[in-house]
Amino acid sequence: MTQESLPGNRIRVWHRPMRPRDSAERHRVATPLELLFDLCFVVAVGQAASNLHHQLAEGHVGHGVAGFALVFFAIWWGWLNFSWFASAFDTDDVPYRLATLVQIAGGLTVAAGVGKGFDGDFHVMVIGYVLMRLAMVTQWLRAARTAPECRPSALRYAAGITLCQILWVVWLAASGATQIALFLVVAAIELAVPLLAERRAGAPWHPHHIAERYGLFTLIVLGETVLSATTAVQESVTEGKHIGELVGLAAAGLVLVFAMWWLYFDQPGHARLVHRPSLLTTMSWGYGHYLIFASAAAVGAGLELAVDFDTHHTELNGTVVALFVTVPVALFLLSVWLLHIGPTNECRPIAIGFPVAAVLVLAASFGPAPIHVTAVLAAALVAVTVIATHGEPRLA
């Protein structure tokens, strides 16, 4: 350990062994460095949602949705790997901070390449992604060197991540349907790395810390949704037209996002993690949040598209526009239901209420004022949860 004396008898630790954190540590919260990491990823999430909106507005539905799914995977997977590693091995010394800086640089490079990615050119994104992931390899190798009890798992992580980065570079040479198929293969290998690395003795992640990290990223995505919709309304209001429709849409969007926030955070996110469930259950919870994050981001793009429809800036019909809001909202509700509530939850009104609300939201797509009705349905589900639980969380 290298130290330097500072004024006031303070000691700054420049370098220390990367030892596992205590998985039962009390009052474990997100660090300022983790919050900065999240803040930088706001840029990438915003770029993904903005480009999805533009693709949909231009009528490139299939291309836009496929591009969004690919781009968001890179954003989500880079964030997820950093968060779980930091939950287990956050030493917060100089080498750790510098490695995190490289990961942030990689994330921002990914964000810079999002627009080209939607156009089918993934070179910039892959450069940023590989940079971000290779920085994580150095972290795992450092953990393997200084934490003997985690060495086998850490080495498996380092080897698996390195292999995947080689495959992503190879993937750039593919095109068309072959590129899509190869993406699915390499993404599946990426998803399998933690399962293989943790199959025996894995990293000692902290359940409350992980739940907080996921909650913070959910807030980031919901915040981007609010920003996207607000910007779209602001641009339209400057034209001085359709004020009534836009005010109503803005109100509905605000109620909808607030309801999504309420429903996600109403039940404790750590409930399924705190008792150290099976690896498959843990990974299902962690991976399943891809649907929560992506659907929340897509709602923002859908609300922007709804503004375009009300101001006659898109040729898409009303039902199609509505579906780009209602489908991600329904997906969000079902994902929260499966990951936080559970079909067997002892509180039957909320166990049944979430899937019923999702079905009604989809049905609202084909009626009048679909986004307003969706907001009312989401608010009604909030009311059901409050009344049924008397304001107290009910664990699955």
Q: How many domains does one find in the chain?
A: 2
Query: By three-state DSSP, how is residue 313 classified?
Result: coil
The answer to whether residue 4 sits within a structural domain is no
**What pLDDT shows up at residue 278?**
74
What mean pLDDT is predicted for residues 150-172? 95
What mean pLDDT is predicted for residues 80-91? 91
Q: Of the candidates 197, 230, 265, which is a domain's last residue?
A: 197
The answer to whether residue 1 sits within a structural domain is no
Q: Of the candidates 172, 197, 222, which is a domain's last residue?
A: 197
351 shares a domain with 239:
yes
What mean pLDDT is predicted for residues 272-291? 81
| In the chain, alpha helices (H) | 32-57, 61-89, 94-112, 114-118, 123-146, 151-171, 176-197, 207-237, 243-266, 279-310, 318-336, 348-364, 370-389
348 shares a domain with 215:
yes
**What pLDDT shows up at residue 230?**
81
Q: What are phi and psi of 13, to 5 degrees?
A: -95, 115
187 shares a domain with 216:
no
What mean pLDDT is predicted for residues 41-68? 91
3-state SS of 119-174 is CCCCHHHHHHHHHHHHHHHHHHHHHHHHCHHHHHHHHHHHHHHHHHHHHHHHHCCC
156 shares a domain with 38:
yes
Kindly report the CATH number assigned to the domain that includes residue 341. Answer: 1.20.1410
**pLDDT > 70? residue 2:** no
Query: By three-state DSSP, how is residue 302 classified?
Result: helix
Q: Of the candidates 174, 197, 220, which is a domain's last residue?
A: 197
What mean pLDDT is predicted for residues 286-308? 93
The answer to whether residue 34 sits within a structural domain is yes
**What pLDDT shows up at residue 3?**
47
Query: Taking a C-beta distance cutoff of 8 angstroms, is the pair 56, 316 a contact?
Result: yes
**pLDDT > 90? residue 132:** yes
Query: Taking a C-beta distance cutoff of 8 angstroms, is the pair 13, 93 a contact?
Result: yes
Nearest to 46 by CA among 103, 105, 108: 108
305 shares a domain with 211:
yes
173 shares a domain with 100:
yes
- Which residues are 3's β-sheet partners? 13
**What pLDDT shows up at residue 233?**
75
**pLDDT > 80? residue 347:** yes
161 shares a domain with 109:
yes
pTM value?
A: 0.90
25 band by pLDDT with thresholds 50, 70 and 90: confident
Nearest to 44 by CA among 22, 77, 72, 16: 72
Nearest to 61 by CA among 284, 315, 269: 315
Share of the chain above pLDDT 70, in %: 90
131 shares a domain with 31:
yes
> What is the span of the domain harbouring residue 168?
13-197
Is the model more confident about 342 or about 47? 47
191 shares a domain with 77:
yes
What mean pLDDT is predicted for residues 302-329? 90
276 shares a domain with 215:
yes
Torsion of CA 136, 142, 144, 146, to 10 degrees: -150
**pLDDT > 90? residue 205:** no
Sign of the CA dihedral with 331 first, then 218, 339, and 268 last: negative
1 band by pLDDT with thresholds 50, 70 and 90: very low
**For all residues of the chain together, what is the average pLDDT?**
88
> Which residues are CB-neighbours of 210 under 8 A, at least 6 positions away?
83, 84, 87, 270, 273, 286
Q: pLDDT tens for residues 216-262?
A: 999 999 998 888 778 777 766 676 666 777 888 888 999 999 999 99
**pLDDT > 60? residue 158:** yes
Q: What are phi and psi of 5, to 5 degrees?
A: -70, 140
Query: Taking a C-beta distance cutoff of 8 angstroms, is the pair 280, 222 a contact?
Result: no
Is the model more confident about 311 or about 213? 213
**What pLDDT shows up at residue 16?**
75
**pLDDT > 50? residue 339:** yes
What mean pLDDT is predicted for residues 143-152? 90
**What pLDDT shows up at residue 13?**
58
The answer to whether residue 3 sits within a structural domain is no
